Amino acid sequence: MYVEALGYIEVIFLSLPLIFLFFAFRAALQGAGDTKTAMWLMLLSAGLNVVIDPIFILGWGPVPALGTQGAAIATFIARGAAVVAGIGILLTGGYGVRLRLSDLKPDWKLQRRLIEIGTPATIDGWARSFSSVVMAAFVAQFSVAAIAAYGIGLRLMSISWTVAGAVGQATATGVGQNLGANTPDRAAEVVWKATAATMAVLFAAAGLVVTFPAVAIGIFIDDAAVIAEGIVFLRIVAPSWAFFGGVMVIQGGFRGAGVTKVAMVLSFLSRWIFRVPVALVLAFGWVYTLPGGLTVAAFDWGVDGLWWAYAVGALGSFVVAVFWFRLGTWKGGVVDREEPTPAPTD
203-215: average pLDDT: 95
Q: What is the pLDDT of residue 215?
A: 94
Q: Cβ(72)–Cβ(7) under 8 Å? A: yes
Residue type, 120: P
Instruction: Sort strands 295-298 and 286-289 into parallel, antiparallel or unpaired.
Output: antiparallel
pLDDT at site 114: 78
User: What global pTM score does this model have?
Assistant: 0.75
Query: Could you tell me which residue, 326 or 87, shows the higher pLDDT?
Result: 326
Residue 26, pLDDT score = 80
Instruction: Give the range among 158-167, 241-250, 273-282, 320-329 with minimum mean pLDDT.
Output: 158-167
Task: Say yes or no to pLDDT of 311 above 70.
Answer: yes
Looking only at Cα atoms, what is the longest distance across the chain?
90
Confidence (pLDDT) at 250: 96
- pLDDT score of 143: 93
Which range, 6-15, 111-120, 299-308, is most confident?
299-308
Three-state secondary structure readout of the chain: CHHHHHHHHHHHHHCHHHHHHHHHHHHHHHHCCCCCHHHHHHHHHHHHHHHHHHHHHHCECCECCCCHHHHHHHHHHHHHHHHHHHHHHHHHCCCCCCCCHHHHCCCHHHHHHHHHHHHHHHHHHHHHHHHHHHHHHHHCCCCHHHHHHHHHHHHHHHHHHHHHHHHHHHHHHHHHHHHHCCCHHHHHHHHHHHHHHHHHHHHHHHHHHHHCHHHHHHCCCCCHHHHHHHHHHHHHHHHHHHHHHHHHHHHHHHHHCCCHHHHHHHHHHHHHHCCHHHHHHHHHCEEEECCCCCEEEECCCCHHHHHHHHHHHHHHHHHHHHHHHHHCCCCCCCCCCCCCCCCCCC
What are the distances in angstroms from CA 195 to CA 158, 171, 181, 251, 262?
A: 17, 9, 22, 10, 17
Q: Is the pLDDT of residue 136 over 90?
A: yes
- 123 has a pLDDT exceeding 50: yes
pLDDT band at 173 (very low <50, low <70, confident <90, very high): confident
Render the burial of 87-108: b for 16+ CB within 10 Å, e for the rest.
eebbeeeebebebeeeeeeeee
pLDDT at 338: 52
Given a cut of 80, is residue 346 above it in pLDDT?
A: no
Residue 158 has pLDDT above 50, yes or no: yes
Domain ranges of the chain: 2-104, 117-327
Rounded mean pLDDT, 263-274: 92
Banded model confidence at residue 343, pLDDT cuts 50, 70, 90:
very low
Higher-scoring residue by pLDDT: 45, 336: 45
Mean pLDDT for the chain? 86
pLDDT of residue 2: 67
| Alpha carbon distance 107, 28 (integer Å) | 17
Q: Of 155, 313, 287, which Cα lies nearest the Cα of 219?
A: 155
Cα–chain center distance at 46: 20
Mean pLDDT of the 41-46 span: 86
Q: Which residue has the higher pLDDT, 74 or 343?
A: 74
Note the pLDDT tens digit of each residue in 79-122. 899 889 988 888 887 777 788 877 778 888 878 877 887 788 78
